[in-house]
Structure 1
Amino acid sequence: MTTPDASTPRILLLPGWQNSGPAHWQSRWEALHGDERVLQDDWMWPRRGDWMARLDEVLLQDRRPVALVAHSLGCQLVAAWAAHSRHTARVQAALLVAPPDTEHAETPPQLHNWRPIVRRPLPFPAVAVTSSDDPYCSPARAAQLVADWGAVHLEAGPLGHLNGESGLGDWPEGRAVLTRLLAPVEDDDGQD
């Protein structure tokens, strides 16, 4: 077994409420690429502080930098965690997919603990992918959240909540976004 390169980031998968099932692209990435799912103690009644503490705990298990790959409530976790953690410098970048509007009037009571939404700019590069027909966040609210976080916004079209029910399979388009996000920035002369 080879030791991972210290400069290669760990990919931490941050599922949303109720975790990501077997058909979800996060589960498929875990199987295909060896990405690491951050497991939470309670997927049904998520407590923001508990989820933030767990992310810190997993992040500190290894010295390598990380890339955060969040879906749904995992996006809210990234924003809340980044506003409070002393370890944000360990994050190379974040991919935020389908952030939900937890301030919406019809938000289930299990998610009321995620109000208000943390809206500070993220201290690391981020790309957010949203859908034009996400049932959990209107396009206007999604665009505002993404702007508040200082992330680059990619609109994927009508793909629902960008989850297992969206039929994305292995979602190679999302993996390509992550690969570009983690690519080294070249200087003007074309050198790394």
Structure 2
Amino acid sequence: MTMNEPRVLVLPGYMNSGPGHWQTRWEAAHAGFARVSMPDWMHPDCDAWCRTLEATLRADPAGEGGVRLAAHSLGCLTVAHWAARHASAATLAKVAGALLVAVPDPHGPAFPRDARGFDPVPLEAAPVLPFVSIVVASRDDPYGGLAFSERCAKAWGSRWIDIGLRGHINAESGLGDWPQGYEWLMAMKRGGEG
């Protein structure tokens, strides 16, 4: 990791992110990127995932505003639940920003039945996220519609970006290294717009 390269924690969703996923490709290309290893990728439990994120941030050597989060799918809901209910002031202060991609709707027909505790989504106290964030949505995401992701972005105090027809914004979306997403993540500054 170079002096200028930021620290990034990668938060995949249900079943983890495979080799062709932009999250995995970013990790392979950048030494400062590290995956948060959740206790059970096949049977996600919101509280367990939030506690894992909190413990990972607590143990991370980065100082205040030194970590960015790159979340996909259930990883996005984990970030929101963690910030709303599980985060300490010290770990919240470590986060400079979050890229939240393909937020799934727990009430949607494709939401994984094995996922527990992700509903209700924290939408009640705007902004839920006390750091810069961007919600990226696709018009044909089978796991979450545009209206739902826009509502989340508004409640979380996030910038909202519609990237058109890109499915679940995963390996099957044909994004490769997804340079645009990487650019959005790198442009985030603590206390400023991403």
TM-score normalised according to structure 1 size: 0.88
Q: Tell me which moved more, 113-122 or 164-173.
A: 113-122
Q: Partners of 2:40 and 2:147 in 1: how far apart?
A: 30
Q: Partners of 2:112 and 2:67 in 1: how far apart?
A: 31
Partner deviation per Cα, 1:115-161 (whole Å, 9 max, x = no partner): 11122421111011111111111111111111111100011110001
Q: Secondary structure at the match of 1:109?
A: coil
Partner residue of 1:157 out of 152, 160, 164: 164
1:190 equivalent in structure 2: none
Q: Partner amino acid for 1:63?
A: P
Partner deviation per Cα, 1:138-191 (whole Å, 9 max, x = no partner): 111111111111100011110001000101100001111112114896xxxxxx
Q: Partners of 2:189 and 2:30 in 1: how far apart?
A: 15
Classify 1:112/1:61 alpha carbon distance in 2 versus 1 (closer, same or farther; 3 Å).
closer
1:45 equivalent in structure 2: 43
Q: Partner amino acid for 2:186?
A: T
Q: In 2, are the aligned partners of 1:68 and 1:93 still within 8 Å (CA)?
A: yes
Q: Partners of 1:69 and 1:167 in 2: how far apart?
A: 18
- The Cα shift of 1:106 comes to 4.8
- The Cα shift of 1:110 comes to 0.9
Q: Partners of 2:185 and 2:132 in 1: how far apart?
A: 11
Large movers: runs of 4+ above 3 Å:
182-185
Q: Partners of 1:184 and 1:78 in 2: how far apart?
A: 18
TM-score normalised according to structure 2 size: 0.87
Pick the structure with greater CA Rg.
Answer: 1
1:57 equivalent in structure 2: 55
